[in-house]
Amino acid sequence: MAMTGPFGDDTNDDALMNEINMTPLVDVMLVLLIVFMVTIPAMQHALKIELPRVASQPESTSAQHVDIGIAADGAILWNGARIGKDELAAKLQAAATAKPQPELRLHADRNVRYEHVADVMAQAHVAGITQLGFMTDPRGKP
């Protein structure tokens, strides 16, 4: 007594399908063929441009730096040389107009009053200095 499925009698249950369904493969290949046929002519129509040639070297515009030291007693040092407050304003004005403008590196003594540091910073701002850096002792010793 054989059992029948919901769709009737299956007498060929043991027979396997021996063929590969080629329709999806052919569809994919045709789509790829069309994509390549559309894109390849677009790549062939590139503009040929004759670009100008120049024979120049980059200009060396490395910015210099100016070291300003403020001693514990309020004395001002410009690159190691002691200067007065009126001379500081003139030197800052000259540095601000230099091309390229140098970076101002401020070295302040640990025991200096903050008003001296703020005064130098204010004079640099008035002169037009745009780059100001604070230098510290990396060892952290007093």
What is the sign, positive or negative, of the torsion defined by CA atoms of 85, 87, 88, 89?
Answer: positive
Ranges of each domain in the chain: 72-135
What is the sign, positive or negative, of the torsion defined by CA atoms of 118, 113, 91, 59?
Answer: negative
Among 120, 137, 139, 30, CA closest to 68: 120
Using one digit for the tens of pLDDT, what is the confidence trace for 102-122?
889 999 988 889 899 999 999
- pTM comes to 0.53
**Is 6 or 24 the better-scoring residue by pLDDT?**
24
Distance CA 108, CA 69 (A): 6
- Could you tell me if 94 and 83 are in contact, meaning their C-beta atoms sit under 8 angstroms apart? no
Most confident by average pLDDT, 17-21, 61-65, 97-101: 97-101
Both tokens of residue 106?
């401020």
